[in-house]
Amino acid sequence: MELSPMTVEQFASFRSRSIADFAQEKVEAGTWAPEEALERAEESYERYLPQGIETPGAYVYNLEHPLDGIVGYIWFNVSENRRGKEAFLLDIVVEEAFRGKGYGTETMEALEQCARSLGADRIGLHVFGHNVRASSLYRKMGYEVTDLTMYKELQD
């Protein structure tokens, strides 16, 4: 899997879709109300990508496979924190038509190589509790849970 930089046009499409997907995930997780989700997701993107594709420390790539072409996208930011230089995965999508072919694993391996080349000491990420497929991939790739929030709905 190759991480290939997005064009400005591809980035515009990515941004719109990623914001909508993020808003929907937050609604599904019960974190945001549907009527506020898009606005809050937009605000989040302004915070993490204030200069769009030109935001320093932000890396937004197409996932390009030699056989299937562009099969999805990935976005991560690299920053310094108390533990050193860290890459933080903010969004990853392997399109539905290409799932089940090992491309998620290949993408995470490509991310590790890219993060190393940028001097990162570690990679962090957040996964929604309802995203079992992603959780399984990350555990398989050696990621460990560092924080876990759980809820139970109470019935009358």
In angstroms, what CA-CA distances link 5 with 44, 54, 75, 81?
Answer: 22, 11, 10, 25
Give the amino acid at 116. R
Q: What is the pLDDT of residues 115-141, one digit of tens each?
A: 999 999 999 988 877 788 888 888 888
- Across 86-93, average pLDDT: 94
The reported pLDDT for the residue numbered 96 is 93
The reported pLDDT for the residue numbered 146 is 79
Confidence bin at 49 (pLDDT 50/70/90): very high
Question: 0.75 cut: is pTM over it?
Answer: yes
Q: Does pLDDT of 54 surpass 80?
A: yes
Q: Does pLDDT of 109 surpass 90?
A: yes
Spell out a b/e string for 123-140, using b for 16 or more CB atoms within 10 Å of the CB, else e. Answer: bbbebeeeeeeeeebbee
